[in-house]
Structure 1
C-alpha cells in the first residue's frame, strides 16, 4: 500500500558550536584556551578524587558497622526514620511526585535508619576517643564552599542554615563525621 503525506517545513535549525578560542576561554574566566583546558583537567581530577575519597569513606563506614554489632536506641532510629520521611516528602513535592504513605516509607527506611544511627554512634565514639572537634573555622569554610557551589554569598548560606531548625547542627554533625572518616582514612592502608 502506498501512502502520500504532505509535509511543510516551518523552520530549520542548525547547531551553532562556538570555536574553541581565547574568546571562549575568557567567557569561562580564563585568559587562554590552554588555561581553560588546564582548569577543566584540574576540575575533573578533583571531582574524580572526591568520588574515590567518598567511596573509601563509605567502605570504611560499612566495615565499621560490620565489625561492631550492637543494639541502637529505638528512639534514635525513630528520629532518623522521621527525618528520612521528611526529606522524602520534600523531595517528592519538589519533583511533583505523589508522596507514599508514611507507614510504607517507615518500613522501607528502617534498616537504613538503623545503619545511619549506628554510623553516627560509632563515629562519635571514635571522634571522642581521638579528641576530634568541629571548629567555627570548619563551619565557616564549609559555608563558603556551599556558597561557591550555589553561586550565593556566605552570609546568605549562613542565614539559610540558621533559619531552618536543626540545619546548622546537621552541618556540624556532617563535618564532624567527615573529619573522623578523614582521620581513619589517613591511618588506613588501602590495598
Structure 2
C-alpha cells in the first residue's frame, strides 16, 4: 500500500511539474538529435525519480526503484527545489532503432538561471550533456537518444545527473540510475 501511495504522489508531482506549471525555458542543445516523423507513436514512461532539495541543502531522492525512501506530501512545501526525471521509450524510428528520452522538470521557490542534464545510456561509455537557460521559477531540460547498434538492449537503464543553478546557488545532483522497476 505504501508503494502505491508513493507512486501516486510521484506521478502527481511529475504531472504537476510537466503539465500544469507554465514553463519558461530557452534551451540550447549542445548536440543535434532528430526524432523522425515516422517514429512509432508511443511515449511510454519507463521510470521516474523525484529529487527534493531542501533549504538547508539536504538532497532527498524519491524513486520507484528504492523501497527505503519515504516522502510525506507536507514536506514538499519545505523544498527549495523539486526536480523530476522522467525516462520515456519513444518507439522505433524508420530504421527500427529504439529511441528514448529523459525529461527533467524543475520547480523552484527561487529564480532559476540554468541547468545541465547529463545522461549515459546503458552500453554507452560517454556522458552526453544538454544545457538550458531558465528565466523563472520553473524549467525543463530534455535529452533524446537513439540506439544505432545492431543489438541494442531490450529494456535499457539510463544514468542521469544534473547541475541546477539559481540566482544565488548551484546544486549538483549525483548520478542516479533510472530504469523500469518491473525489469529489476
TM score, norm. by length of structure 1: 0.24
Q: Which has the higher helix share?
A: 1
Q: Which has the higher strand share?
A: 2
Q: Please identify the structure whose Cα radius of gyration is greater.
A: 1
TM score, norm. by length of structure 2: 0.24
Identify the structure with bigger relative contact order (alpha carbons < 8 Å, sequence gap 6+): 2
